[in-house]
Amino acid sequence: MTLNFQMLCFGLVVVGLVLSLVLNIIFGGFTVGKITRRLDVGVPADQLQAFLARMYQRLAELGFQGEGPGVYFQRGAQFGVPTSYTHAKSAKRLEVTADQSNPQQSQIGIAVHYLELIVGDTGESAYADAVMKYIVGETDVMQLVANRSFMAFSSLVLAVWAWVAMIALKVLHIEPFTQTVLTLTITPVLTSVIAIVTIALKPKELRGLWLAIVGLVMSGLALGACVVMAVMKAAA
């Protein structure tokens, strides 16, 4: 069976990308939407001013800018690495409320709202929690939350998909076989290499190195198998 090369490649690549997106959502806890995290703390009345002063100072340290009473924005104006977004550079709004109805203790409420659509939680919730714990003084150092590289994750999914597609094309005798498989395998090879280099440059901000390495090995083996079969076919 012979199919149009461009349509075949386009269809298989699109399926691979959709699989990457769907699996990213699944492994991200089925999170699709704008994430909101909240924290409530009680502060003794005589410590409230010192508490607020420290909180404002730490908000400024993290790049949050006040734009109204109790409202702060972390705009994410600077771009992060090309393969995944650093959480600190994702636009978000932080709201602070204070209930001082109790003369002995004030109740401080903090909420962090991501302003961008999150497709699969790769660490966004953990980063928001770390921000809130830091500004209220539960931790003395802001914890750096590593972001799972979507490119590394996709490289593994695309590598597995390349093997599945290669076996299916061979069993069903669908042509053009060699050109199609070469396209499907070269894509995750390049994706894996870029992901590995990027993670190596920022190991504290990105995770998923093993995903990219496994993806590179699997796609490399698929590419080698395709070349061997092409050589054997030409020699027959």
Domain boundary among 145, 173, 196: 145
Domain count, the chain: 2
Q: Are residues 114 and 189 in the same domain?
A: no
Q: Which residues of the chain have pLDDT under 70?
A: 1-3, 5, 28-32, 76-86, 88, 236
pLDDT at 29: 63
The domain containing residue 133 runs over which residues?
A: 32-145
pLDDT at 83: 36
Longest CA span, the chain:
90
Query: What confidence tens digit (pLDDT) does each residue in 46-91 have?
Result: 999 999 999 999 999 888 999 888 999 987 644 444 433 467 677 8
Q: Are residues 139 and 185 in the same domain?
A: no
CATH of the domain at 115: 3.30.1370.80
Q: Are residues 37 and 93 in the same domain?
A: yes
pLDDT at 37: 94
Domain boundary among 93, 118, 145: 145
pLDDT at 32: 67
Q: Are residues 41 and 131 in the same domain?
A: yes
